[in-house]
Amino acid sequence: MSWTIERRGRVAVVTMTTNPVNAQNRAFFADLHDAFDRLERDHADSPVVLTGTGTRFSAGLDLGENFPLLASGPAAVASWFQDYRATNMRLFTYPRPMVAAVNGHAFAGGLITAAVCDYRVAVAQGARFGLNEVPIGIPMPAVYVRMLAHAWGEPVASRACLLGEIFTPEQAHALGMVHELASADDLLDRAVAVAERTPEDCIEQYAFTKRACQAAALRDIAELADPLDEELPGGMTSDRARQAHRRYWQQLKGRPAEW
């Protein structure tokens, strides 16, 4: 289902609606690019707020689609990862104010989607945030580690990536993973207010300064992260990785994996 784009004044509010929990799969990737194509065409000078529905921002990778893909071998994983990487690079480098209104749970790839926005306002109660890739047998891509270090600082990014901890909103705020908290009723209004901070006639200056702020991260992605990620398909498809995938699937679904 195509994502909705609603104008709130001069701000474009983009609501992710691919599936009820915004599990990230190829349909999600296509919806993201479709939405940002429409932003560039119809709302080119608009600050953007990105949010989800209900009590979920994004549950991260659609494991029902992606665990079987990871079992299919390195070549398929390499192709899939290039598509996945392109979605977060598009968000990270979008040349307009990008505010995540994190309306609920954000796990793994879903938390990365929030983190690559410029500013994050999260719901104050009921949500949980975490990067659980390593404990379920998925190496964190180097490109995302570098984006997370840019967003949160290296100590917090390392802790979150390596340990797979699950954080409350208060903990995430204290660590700097989100900039501020708001009630569910006030969340979207607050995110829109943040997005409106940049005056309309200063959008080009924002874009230039954003590029400058990200210059070191983008250099490291090109020179360090991308070469390291050439090893990623092997790390995602090794025998031990597949064992961890099957273990987690059993825990999650209460039945053995069929792949």
DSSP one-letter code for 9: T
**Which contiguous run of DSSP H or E holds residue 12?**
strand 11-15
Report the C-alpha gap between 75 and 53 in whole angstroms: 34
Query: Across the chain, how many H-helices and E-strands are there?
Result: 12, 12
Q: Report the greatest alpha carbon distance in the chain.
A: 57
DSSP one-letter code for 11: E
Report the C-alpha gap between 230 and 209 in whole angstroms: 30
Which is the catalytic residue, given 6, 40, 65, 133? 133
Pairing of strands 98-102, 48-51: parallel
Report the C-alpha gap between 61 and 79 in whole angstroms: 16
Strands (E), 103-207: 105-107, 119-123, 129-130, 166-167, 180-182
Report the C-alpha gap between 136 and 2 in whole angstroms: 30
- Residue 136 in tokens: 């379920």
Q: Is 200 a catalytic residue?
A: no
- Residue 137 in tokens: 């047998």
Report the C-alpha gap between 37 and 192 in whole angstroms: 21
Residues with catalytic annotation?
A: 133
